[in-house]
Amino acid sequence: MHGLINQAIERFARATYGNGFWERVCRRRNLPVLTFEAMQSYDPEVTEALLDGMAQVLGKPRGEVLEDIGTFLVSSPSTGALRRLLRFGGTGFVDFLLSLDDLPARVRLAVPELELPQMELREHGARSFSFVVRTEGAGKPWFGHVMVGLLRAMADDYGALVVMEHMGASPGREIIAIMLLEASFAEGRRFDLGARAP
């Protein structure tokens, strides 16, 4: 697993629940207390173990933990660079949604080793979309849940009012339903093309 993903999980855990929590999760899964390097690769089992460990310690379904991580990725000041990179996708939330097909390619441009699952946005009407994540292998679904949290936070960022739901996973894919209630419901956060990432 790419270090960026593991590091995101670690940052989320430490920032949201504290260092003690992170240490407890690591110990519970018989892992050394881990600090991940963003630009290194790790055994995927470590990631799985940490996600399961967090769900156990928090007493929450894994999907919810993953959604929280997705939201954290966009809304935490410590990950401001990612939010900015996502905002390059479009000037409005719908524009942004439509740019998601390109997300894996965009990510590859920035970090060639970071492979994301293929994803596809389907338009069912001006306000109704579904987002399909294609997952490979037999691993537990995770990316769709992260995307739900991330898209929710991005909708907030754009000032759009959106209802989103993870519709579950079938072998090979996860589906997210997206209803756009209002494209410009609130002010949204500013985005200057030329600003430096915080």
Partner 1 sequence: MSFVALDSVKLGAVLDTLCPMHLLLDGTGHIRHAGPAMRKLSPGGAPEGMHLAELLDLRRPRASDRMEALLALAGRKLHFALRMPPRTELKGVLVPLPSEAGAGGEAPAGAVLNLSFGISIVDAVRDFALTSADFAATDLAIEMLYLVEAKSAAMEELRRLNTRLDGARIEALEASVTDKLTGLRNRRALEPVLTRMAETRADFALMHLDLDHFKGVNDTFGHAAGDAVLQAVACRLTSGTRDRDTLIRIGGDEFLLVLPEQSRTEAVADLAHRLIGEIARPIPYGDRRLTVSASIGASLSRGYDPLDPVRMMHDADTALYAAKAAGRGIYRLYTPELGQMGAGRPG
Binding residues vs partner 1 (CB under 8 A): 37-39, 81, 84-85, 88, 91, 106, 109-111, 192-195, 197
Cβ partners under 8 Å of residue 111, min gap 6: 2, 4
Cβ partners under 8 Å of residue 154, min gap 6: 74, 83, 86, 93, 96
- What is the nearest approach in angstroms of partner 1 to the Cβ of residue 40? 8
* Closer residue to partner 1 (CB): 44 or 92: 92
For the chain, the first-to-last Cα distance in angstroms comes to 26
- What is the nearest approach in angstroms of partner 1 to the Cβ of residue 156? 20
User: 94: which 2 tokens?
Assistant: 């719908």
* Closer residue to partner 1 (CB): 31 or 39: 39
* Closer residue to partner 1 (CB): 85 or 183: 85
Query: Other CB atoms closer than 10 Å to residue 131's CB: what's the count?
Result: 23
CA nearest neighbour of 12 among 165, 21, 41? 21
User: 54: which 2 tokens?
Assistant: 């967090």
* Closer residue to partner 1 (CB): 31 or 195: 195
- What is the nearest approach in angstroms of partner 1 to the Cβ of residue 21? 23
CA nearest neighbour of 151 among 126, 129, 170, 173? 129
Task: Name residue, tokens 């769900």.
Answer: 55
- What is the nearest approach in angstroms of partner 1 to the Cβ of residue 23? 20
- What is the nearest approach in angstroms of partner 1 to the Cβ of residue 87? 9
* Closer residue to partner 1 (CB): 61 or 198: 198
